[in-house]
Each structure stands twice: as structure tokens, then as C-alpha cells.
Structure 1
Amino acid sequence: MDDLQVLILPGWQGSGPEHWQSRWEQRHGFTRVQQDDWLWPRRGDWMTQLEEAVLSRRGPLLLAAHSLGCQLVAAWAAHSRHTDRVAGALLVAPPDVERDDMPPNVYSWRPIVRWRLPFAAVAVVSSNDAYCAPERAAGMAHDWGARLVEVGAAGHINADSGLGDWAQGLELLRQVGMAGGLSPTITPW
């Protein structure tokens, strides 16, 4: 991964220390895109932070997004002029922010941006995600042009799912990099 960089894009409330994103950050040196407000996320603010992170790096990038981070990728890609710097994105557990029972904290993320992504993408979904019905997740993946990977009953695919370092996710990240024209070597610990 000498010339490849991975940006970690957590969702609403960030990712705690046992979350696979935090573990990847610690073990592989991936970079977390920090947000000013994890509790009341505003789409435009988060998009600005991602744009700055992309512009501050050289070489090809991979995005590893979880939950609201997936919505961030879609919204950012629809507006940025710098999407050519991204080789691919791993989109894990995209939430359905248009549901009536979603907290008001994420209302600013409506409507869901459903444009086709200009880079390779894999969407990883669970059959029992409390934040998105499988058919809605499949619809988002289709609209984004992402390959859909169903992992069974894994909840919100977060720390509560008991994934640890989530070697399957690292393999999917490697695959999306290859689909984006890279040959990344990502070694699970």
C-alpha cells in the first residue's frame, strides 16, 4: 500500500475504538476524515471535510465508508470536481435517512443522493440492519452503480456485530481497489 491511501469515513456519532474502521485505522495507518460535529451532522459541512481530505493527498485514494459515511460519499461525488482522485469506495451499511423513524439529527441528509458514482464501488449490506431494509439498501447500491454484497444477519455491520478486524471487509476493500485499476496489497493482522 506504498502509494495507496485509504480514507476512513465514519457515520453519525463516529466510530468507537472497537469498530472495524477504528481497528483498520490503528493497524493499517488509514486516515480518518474528522468531522466538526458527529452528533448533528450537516451534509454540506461533511462534504467540505471530505473534499479537503481528498485535495490534501496525492496518489490514488480508496474510501472506506460506514453508515452515514456512505451517504457522504454519494453526496460528495455528485458535487466534487475531484472524483478522479478516488479509485474506489467500500460502502458499508448505508442507512435509509428518508425513513420516518430516523432521528432528526440526520434530516439534513434528505433526500438521498442517488447518482451513479464515477468510481468503482462495493456496497455491503446486512439482512437485519436496524437503519435500512435490505431492499432499500439494494436500491441505493443499484443507483450508485455499486456491486452489492450481502453478508447475512450482521446488524448494522459495526462494533456490535462482533467483526473484530473484519478480514472480509479488508478483502472487499482490496477488490474495489482492483476494480478501480489498482493492485493494492492489504495485509490483515
Structure 2
Amino acid sequence: MHSVSMQYLIVPGWQGSPERHWQSHWQRSLPNSARVEQKDWFVPQRRDWVAALSHCIEISQAPVILIAHSLGCATVAHWALQAEPELARRVAGALLIAPADVERPNCPEPLRNFAPLHRQALPFPALLVGSSNDPAATPERARQLAAAWGAISTILTNVGHINVKSGHERWEEGFTFLYQLQDQIERTSRYRA
């Protein structure tokens, strides 16, 4: 990674990201990285999860790149909608992996308080990566969310929910998307300068 001056903030989804999850591997691998810790990983409450994310961004000493998975993506979207502009400017960009569609008919009950999902552009560059066979969001739904959030989208073929269960432990290939996001952030910064 070439952005040592950035803080990488890992935003796990429902039930957290266990030791073997790629987010945990990335946290160990990326310089200046931290994780948003939630009080309750199993019965998530939108207000609490958004507040925990907000706190981590507030205390960061550097611009933040959010690396969210599943329900973490919904948390990022909810936070961005209500964040004060000054705080939102601390986020350089967001990598949104396998977003959970909390509006789907078969959505697990504990996640439903995250609905509805906001359809407002995020105030920072974002890249969304979905899967053609993710049980948490169809490829069409992932593309819709990306469009609503103003994110560039990529749909991978048959990679499931991009978690330990689908065989994504270290997920070194995923760093490619982080590099793409960082390039997008740099291009946006030059454009604004």
C-alpha cells in the first residue's frame, strides 16, 4: 500500500469478522489499520453501529479509508447520510464488499432494523464489489446499490458472500480493488485541487 498517511478502518458485518476472515487478515497486513468494534455483533442495532463507526472516524488522526463487508456496507451508507460535512470529509473513500441487502424478503430478522437502505450518493469515492451468487444480495441489487451510492461496481463470478464460508480467508486478490479505490481517491483529489 502506498498511502501510509491514511488510516484503514475495517467495518465488519453481522457476527463480526473472525480470525480467519479476510478483513482480519487485512487488518494485520495493512499499515495504520483499525477495526470498528461493536457492542453486539449478533443483534445489531443500526443506531449503535452507526455511532461506533462515527466515533472511530472522529478519533482518527489521519484521513480514513473504510473497508466494509456485508452489514458494514449498510452501516457506512447510514452513517454517510447523517454525518456532519466536516466529519464526512475525513473519509477519503470506501471499499464496499458483498453488501447485505437488508430489504430482501429472506433477510434475517436481526438485520431488518437497517432497512430501508438509503439511496443517496456517498460524499466520498466508493467502489462496490458484489458476487453473482451472493445469498445476501443479487448482482442486480448490488448494482442498484452501487448506482444509488455513486460507487463504481464490480460483480465477481460465483464467489458467494466473499467470506470464510465461501473460501475467502486471506483474499489477497481483493487488494486489487483497494488499489483501484486508492487510485480513484488520488484522481478525485487532483481534480478537486
TM-score tier after normalising by the smaller chain length: over 0.9
RMSD: 1.3
1:111 aligns with 2:122: no
Counterpart AA for 1:168:
E
Q: Does structure 2 retain, via aligned residues, the 8 Å contact 1:97–1:112?
A: yes
Matches of 2:7 and 2:135, distance apart in 1: 31
Q: Tell me, which stretches of 5 or more residues in structure 2 are unaligned? A: 188-193
User: 1:40-59, aligned counterparts within 5 Å?
Assistant: 40-59=43-62
Q: Secondary structure at the match of 1:177?
A: helix
Q: Does structure 1 retain, via aligned residues, the 8 Å contact 2:8–2:30?
A: no
Normalising by structure 1, we get a TM-score of 0.92
Matches of 2:150 and 2:50, distance apart in 1: 20
Corresponding residue number in structure 1 for 2:191: none
Q: Does structure 2 retain, via aligned residues, the 8 Å contact 1:87–1:181?
A: no
Q: Does structure 1 retain, via aligned residues, the 8 Å contact 2:163–2:169?
A: no
Q: Does structure 1 retain, via aligned residues, the 8 Å contact 2:131–2:156?
A: yes
Stretch deviating more after TM superposition (39-48 or 170-179):
170-179
1:164 aligns with 2:169: yes
- Residue by residue over 1:40-63, the C-alpha shift from the partner in whole angstroms, topping out at 9 and shown as x without a partner, is 111111111011100101221100
Q: 1:127 aligns with which of 127, 132, 143?
A: 132
User: 1:1-189, aligned counterparts within 5 Å?
Assistant: 1-29=3-31, 30-81=33-84, 82-181=87-186
Identity of aligned residues (%): 43
Counterpart AA for 1:23:
H
- Residue by residue over 1:112-145, the C-alpha shift from the partner in whole angstroms, topping out at 9 and shown as x without a partner, is 1111011110100000001111111110011001
Normalising by structure 2, we get a TM-score of 0.90
Matches of 2:165 and 2:42, distance apart in 1: 19
Counterpart AA for 1:4:
M
